[in-house]
Amino acid sequence: MLKGKVITLRPVQEEDLPQLYAHILDVDNRGDFYPRSIQTLAELRKELNTTGFWSREFGLLLLIDKAEKVIGQTVWFKTVQYMDELEIGYIVYDTTARRSGAMTEALGLLTDYLFDTKPVNRIRLCIATENKASRGVAEKGGYMHEGTQRGCFFNRGRYHDMELYAMIRSDLAGEKSD
C-alpha cells in the first residue's frame, strides 16, 4: 500500500469489486474526459483472479479514502515498445471527493513508486486539452507540458486533442545520487 495524508493507494481486493463495478457502470461520473467503456463483473473478477490487475507492464491501484471507501483509481502501463516510458491514467469517481487534493497526492505517490521500482526514465500523462482540472493535477505534480497531440483520442462521439505532460527521473526534486 502507498499511504498518503488524504488517500491510500492499494491493489484491488475481492471485497472492492462491488464498489468498483458500480463506478464502472456509472459512465456519467467519469465526466467528459475519461473513457466511457464498461466491463462486466465477470470480466473484472476474471482479471482479479488471473493477474490481480497487476503485471510487469500494467497496474491498477484504487484510491481509498479515510473511511475505507473506493473513490477512484490510477493505472499505469507501458506505452510503446521503442520508448523507455510508462503512462499514468487516473480518475476520481466520487464527485464529492474531487478537488480535495486526493488525485494530486495519488499521482505523487504513484510517480515516486514507479521511479523507485521500475527501470524506466520517463513517465507521461495524456490529458484532454479541455480538462483543466487534470492539467492542474499534472502541473502540481511536477509534470512538464511537452506539446499537443492533435485529434488523437476518441470519446463521447468526437476526437479530442490531448496535452502531453511528462517527467523524467532527473526531474524529481531531491533525486538520490548514484
Question: By residue range, what is the domain housing residue 145?
Answer: 2-171
Cell digits for 76? 499505469
Confidence of residue 178 (pLDDT cuts 50, 70, 90): very low
Asked if residue 176 is part of any domain, the answer here is no
Is the per-residue pLDDT at 175 higher than 60? Answer: no
Asked if residue 177 is part of any domain, the answer here is no
Q: Looking at residue 30, what is its pLDDT?
A: 66
Give the torsion sign (CA, 62, 65, 68, 72). negative
Confidence of residue 32 (pLDDT cuts 50, 70, 90): low
Asked if residue 122 is part of any domain, the answer here is yes
Task: Quote the CA–CA distance of 39 and 60 in Å, as a whole number.
Answer: 15
**CATH number of the domain within which 62 lies:** 3.40.630.30
Asked if residue 178 is part of any domain, the answer here is no
Q: Looking at residue 31, what is its pLDDT?
A: 65
Q: What is the pLDDT of residues 161-170, one digit of tens each?
A: 999 999 999 9
pTM over 0.85: yes
Q: What is the pLDDT of residues 51-97, one digit of tens each?
A: 999 999 999 999 999 989 998 999 999 998 888 899 999 988 877 77
- Which of residues 173 and 110 earns the better pLDDT score? 110
Q: What is the pLDDT of residues 103-152, one digit of tens each?
A: 999 999 999 999 999 999 999 999 999 889 999 999 999 999 999 999 88
Cβ atoms 31, 88 nearer than 8 A:
no
Asked if residue 6 is part of any domain, the answer here is yes
Q: What is the total count of domains within the chain?
A: 1
Cell digits for 46? 476474471
Tell me the C-alpha to C-alpha distance, in Å, between residue 83 and each of 51, 79, 120, 159, 178. 24, 7, 9, 25, 23
